[in-house]
Amino acid sequence: MLDVLIKSAILIGGIMTAAAYFVLLERRMAAWVQDRIGPSRVGAPLSLFGFKDLRLWGLGQPAADGLKMILKEEYTPAHVDRRLYVLAPIAILAAAIAIYAVIPFGSLIPPVRFGSLKSAGPIELTVAPGVDVGMIYVFALSSVAVYGVILGGWASNNKYSFLGGLRSSAQLIAYELPMGLGILGVVLTAGSLNLSTIIEQQAHSGWFALMQPLGFVVFVIAAFAEAARLPFDLPEAEQELIGGYHTEYAGMKLLLFLVAEFLHMITASLLIVILFFGGWHFPFITGRDPQQVTWATAVVRILVLHGKVFAVIIFFMWVRWSWPRFRFDQLMNLAWKVMLPLGLVNFVAIAVLEELRHRYAPEGSFAWTLVAIAAGWLVFALSWLATSLANPLVTDNRPRRNLAPLEVDSQI
């Protein structure tokens, strides 16, 4: 159990620290996009000890924000359902952290010795290695987040919170379906639900983002919606809902909600990298055999994995400050009328290709890999063309003038 406890401590400390400093990075990116300065003053308060304060480019801002939330009054409104009100943020954060039990944060490291203690062999950089139903576990826990959202909105006994909970649950449930279809193509090709096995398969046969571009696009869009990131942040649309399902929350309870939402983005970035960009694999640098690892190779693989994740998180932030928010009906139409059919097309295409590969292609055939890449991009292009022809290029948001005034109001 020692290695499990050590990996759990490193992982929880790492993701919590990463969430805090990614908030700072996002605030700085927002300031850059909007031509502002952003948080740049809070550093080390050495004036408490008679020295000059160090600003440190604002790196102390996450600590100051966390301390402020901890010291805020733990106020619970009198009209809420207290038990559900307290349970909601705990449930959503616990589920967001528990997902990382099966997500690898590297490959392997060589055997480790601490005095008289020695590991039995190479240590796999996963808290719970060898879970052959890892993707099902991830999906199950990500669905628990829906319950946290619904509980928070219902227990608040507030109309804005209740509407935010309803919108959130509808959005999360709708986009789970295309996300699952995007993953099914990966599972068919890899032949496993184990995340480490999926990475190893890509190390030998190529990244799935190249072989399944349609599934990749469907999964990324669904991941944005599941993480409630712009342009899919309808659960917290301030213009309509004040603050969404956690309007009545403050202090540490609100902090739990906010940290869980940011962890969803980090989780989505990790899954995108692991499922479609080869995880720790990078051609000619990290090697292809996970069992042949030295300390140098292990460190390089960790850096490659987290470098890819960092790039995807930057993409999440860039999209947030570049695109406007969807209307709710547009968001649901995109899920049911566009993403779901595209996910089905991708699933059927990958199933046909896998059946042909098992019948006619030898194991590890490079020629078949090229055929699979070409077929995947052809399906992607045809699906894109069909979607463009089936849907109008411009949405007319103007009210219809041939309606009575009350009907116009209902259309708006």
What's the per-residue H, E or C state across 104-164? CCCCEECCCEECCEECCCCEECCCCCCCCCHHHHHHHHHHHHHHHHHHHHHHCCCHHHHHH
Instruction: Name the DSSP letter for residue 178.
Output: H
Mean of pLDDT over the chain: 85
Count of C-beta atoms within a 10 Å radius of residue 59: 16
Count of C-beta atoms within a 10 Å radius of residue 365: 14
pLDDT value for 404? 60
* CA atoms 184, 190, 193, 198: torsion sign: negative
pLDDT value for 310? 94
Domain boundaries, the chain: 1-70, 72-392
* CA atoms 366, 372, 377, 378: torsion sign: positive
Q: Write down the pTM of the prediction.
A: 0.89
Instruction: Name the DSSP letter for residue 54.
Output: B
Lowest mean pLDDT among 128-137, 218-227, 228-237: 228-237
Residue 60 pLDDT greater than 90, yes or no = no
How far apart CA 85 and CA 406 sit, in angstroms, is 38
Q: What are phi and psi of 118, to 5 degrees?
A: -145, 135
Q: What six digits make up the tokens of 314?
A: 């930057």
Residue 122 pLDDT greater than 90, yes or no = no
Residue 6 pLDDT greater than 60, yes or no = yes
**Buried b vs exposed e over 335-363: b needs ≥16 C-beta within 10 Å?**
beebbbbbbebbbebbeebeeebeeeeee
Closest by Cα among 387, 391, 23 to 214: 387
How far apart CA 151 and CA 84 sit, in angstroms, is 6
pLDDT value for 238? 62
